[in-house]
């Protein structure tokens, strides 16, 4: 019987139905319940009808072909058959008729009940699935075996070669991008960093980069320096440019790692050079305020504004606003400031201390405008910490002459064992040291500083403080004396009473206890070579009163526990 399978395949619009048919065709033979083929003379056509169980579903499928074996009509009870195209069961039916050379008339019905057919079908299908899983498992073993053999042949011979590209058209980017080539003797361009490197290595894929480079992508196939580059690429995969997939953008998030990776690079295209950018800290007095900004050989915001006003180009409106300092010239990270010299193609860097970094981060984005009192407070704090920033002599003298005397702190322990904390301060401006003292208490959180905090905020001038506070909790007193006093010493002139000085001095007091029975009473007698009897009695009375401390006549403190 003629049956043109190719003609039937042309009826399919959606390859999904056809792919399904081919995938599950192996299940058809055991799934056929009934099959009939009838030739209809009146219309010169052959009608083929089948009941089957495929993938666990019962279906009734029919196919009508003409005498030339071409497709005329089909139907099926499954949900995938429609007027636009046949379902996969139609193709399976045609394929089965061809494979078994069936002719009309033909009739077949399984000599068993449906439940038995379904049971056998699922049993065989389970075996097929398990066999497929086992085949995939074995294929993976073979793949790993090949990779292992290749690794012994190709160990550490694959190079990843970087190159730097700077796109002048992207005015918003002041830093270049990095792209890569791969190979041994001959190098091939990486066109998609994510798929050709990151995913390929993760899945140990076999990649064809060119005529002379067909490799299994596994980590140990690369040279030692290439592995350093791979670590950098994988860690910063989120910096791969989404439009140019062969580029990885260098920015503030990856520059420190880029530096650590390529500082000792064998490639002459990537050169790092340490340089002092000679950044000047410009201070300008405007009425009641001070404006502070940065200026160096790469950047002067004041000159830039003048240039922009004189531009007559029709595009000049693009430059009327001032881009952030970092976008124009620098990348600021946690550890360094970087500048890319486009002319010489060199990465310049400057190591600065943490205080300069914090100030630079602030000034890199905007000018700092401070009121008079705040200006002196801020720069009296920064002046001895700025190693790389030049401040003009005019303002340096002003800052040095700024009266930033330390507050005075007096400490004592009273007869109740409470710590007396007195602070004195008199000055025209809010004191930097005073702000630091408040910060210490806020972090340590003893509840004694509220009165002092009420005097101070970011903009309020303080002329005089004369506050006395008490710490009565034993745990806080110990912490204050042992931990906080050494910390406060940097920010205040501290005066300690003899009681406080002796507080940390540990000494043993020698005493003896005499015990005797008198008139049926137990009599205890305390004596000491260090203390007289009157002082021993006072100590015992203080203990009975649940006092925490006792001050000896010599001024020393005894902890009652």
pLDDT of residue 445: 58
How far is it, in rounded angstroms, from Cα 269 to Cα 279? 27
How far is it, in rounded angstroms, from Cα 177 to Cα 167? 8
Residues pairing with 165 in the sheet = 177
Give the tens place of pLDDT for each residue, 30-52: 888 889 999 988 888 999 899 88
- With CA atoms as reference, report the closest residue to 336 among 323, 326, 322, 328: 326
pLDDT of residue 444: 66
The percent of residues in the chain predicted with pLDDT above 70, rounded, is 81
Is pLDDT at 278 greater than 60 in this prediction?
yes
pLDDT of residue 428: 60
Which comes out higher in pLDDT, residue 279 or 328? 279
Measured distance between the N- and C-terminal CA atoms of the chain, rounded to whole angstroms: 110
Cis peptide before 400 (omega within 30 of 0): no
Is pLDDT at 316 greater than 50 in this prediction?
no
CA distances from 412 to 99, 210, 468, 495, 545 (A): 106, 83, 11, 9, 21
Q: How many residues does the chain have?
A: 561
Which comes out higher in pLDDT, residue 207 or 558? 207
Lowest-confidence pick of 1-5, 301-305, 480-484, 520-524: 301-305
Alpha helices in 315-407 (DSSP H): 325-328, 354-363, 372-382, 393-401
Most confident of 100-114, 230-244, 269-283, 343-357: 230-244
Give the tens place of pLDDT for each residue, 482-534: 778 888 887 888 888 877 776 655 556 778 888 999 888 999 888 888 888 88
pLDDT of residue 272: 92
To the nearest whole number, what is the mean pLDDT of the chain?
A: 79
pLDDT of residue 64: 94
Is pLDDT at 160 greater than 90 in this prediction?
yes
Is pLDDT at 446 greater than 60 in this prediction?
no
- Concatenating the DSSP letter of every residue in 274-323 gives E-----EEEEEEETTEEEEEEEBTTB-HHHHHHHHHH--STTGGGGSSPP
Is pLDDT at 247 greater than 80 in this prediction?
yes
pLDDT of residue 458: 41
pLDDT of residue 418: 82
Over range 438-450, report the average pLDDT. Answer: 67
**Contacts of residue 112, Cβ cutoff 8 Å, sequence gap at least 6:** none
- With CA atoms as reference, report the closest residue to 194 among 185, 184, 206, 202: 202
Is pLDDT at 314 greater than 70 in this prediction?
no
Is pLDDT at 74 greater than 90 in this prediction?
yes
pLDDT of residue 327: 42
This prediction has a pTM of 0.49
pLDDT of residue 506: 52
Specify the DSSP class assigned to residue 158.
B
| DSSP H or E run through 499 | helix 498-503
């Amino acid at each position: 019987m003629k049956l043109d399978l190719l003609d039937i395949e042309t009826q399919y619009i959606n390859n999904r139905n056809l792919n399904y048919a081919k995938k599950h065709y192996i299940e058809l033979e055991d799934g056929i319940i009934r099959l009939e083929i009838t030739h209809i003379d009146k219309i010169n056509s052959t009608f083929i009808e089948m009941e089957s169980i495929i993938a666990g579903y019962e279906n009734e499928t029919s196919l009508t072909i003409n005498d030339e074996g071409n497709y005329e009509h089909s139907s099926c009870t499954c949900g995938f058959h429609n007027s636009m195209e046949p379902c996969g069961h139609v193709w399976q039916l045609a394929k089965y008729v061809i494979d078994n050379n069936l002719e009309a008339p033909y009739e077949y019905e399984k000599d068993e009940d449906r439940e038995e057919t379904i049971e056998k079908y699922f049993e065989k299908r389970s075996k097929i699935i398990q066999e497929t899983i086992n085949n995939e498992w074995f294929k993976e073993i073979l793949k790993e075996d090949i990779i292992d053999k290749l690794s012994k042949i190709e160990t550490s011979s694959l190079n990843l070669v970087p190159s730097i590209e700077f796109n002048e058209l992207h005015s918003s980017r002041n830093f270049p991008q990095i792209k890569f080539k791969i190979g041994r003797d001959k190098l091939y361009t990486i066109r998609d960093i994510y798929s050709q490197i990151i995913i390929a290595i993760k899945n140990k894929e076999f990649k064809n980069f060119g005529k002379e480079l067909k490799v299994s992508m596994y980590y140990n196939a690369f040279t030692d320096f290439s592995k350093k580059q791979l670590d950098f690429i994988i860690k910063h995969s989120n910096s791969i440019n989404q439009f140019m997939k062969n580029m990885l953008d260098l920015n503030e998030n990856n520059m420190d790692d880029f530096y650590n990776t390529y500082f000792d690079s064998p490639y002459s295209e990537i050169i790092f050079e340490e340089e002092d950018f000679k950044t000047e800290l410009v201070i300008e007095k405007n009425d009641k305020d001070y404006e502070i900004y940065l200026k160096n050989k790469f950047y002067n915001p004041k000159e830039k504004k003048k240039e922009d006003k004189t531009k007559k180009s029709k595009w000049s409106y693009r430059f009327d606003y001032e881009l952030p300092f970092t976008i124009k010239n620098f990348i600021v990270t946690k550890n360094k400031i970087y500048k890319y010299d486009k002319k010489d193609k060199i990465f310049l860097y400057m190591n600065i201390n943490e205080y300069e970094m914090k100030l630079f981060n602030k000034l890199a984005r905007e000018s700092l405008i401070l009121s008079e009192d705040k200006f002196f407070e801020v720069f009296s704090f920064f002046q001895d910490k700025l190693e790389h920033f030049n401040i003009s002599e005019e303002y340096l003298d002003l800052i040095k002459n700024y009266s930033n005397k330390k507050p005075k702190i007096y400490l004592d322990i009273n007869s109740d064992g409470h710590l007396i904390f007195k602070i004195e301060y008199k000055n025209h401006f809010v004191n930097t040291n005073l702000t630091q003292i408040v910060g210490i208490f806020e972090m340590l959180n003893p509840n004694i500083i509220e009165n002092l905090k009420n005097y101070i905020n970011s903009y309020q001038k303080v002329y005089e403080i004369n506050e006395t506070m008490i710490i009565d909790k034993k745990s806080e007193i110990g912490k204050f004396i042992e931990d906080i006093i050494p910390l406060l010493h940097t920010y205040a002139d501290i005066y300690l009473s003899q009681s406080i000085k002796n507080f940390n001095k540990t000494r043993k007091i020698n005493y003896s206890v005499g015990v005797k029975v008198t008139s049926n009473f137990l009599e205890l007698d305390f004596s000491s070579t260090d203390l007289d009897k009157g002082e021993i009695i006072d100590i015992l009375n203080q203990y009975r009163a649940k006092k925490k401390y006792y001050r000896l006549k010599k001024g020393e403190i005894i902890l009652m526990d």
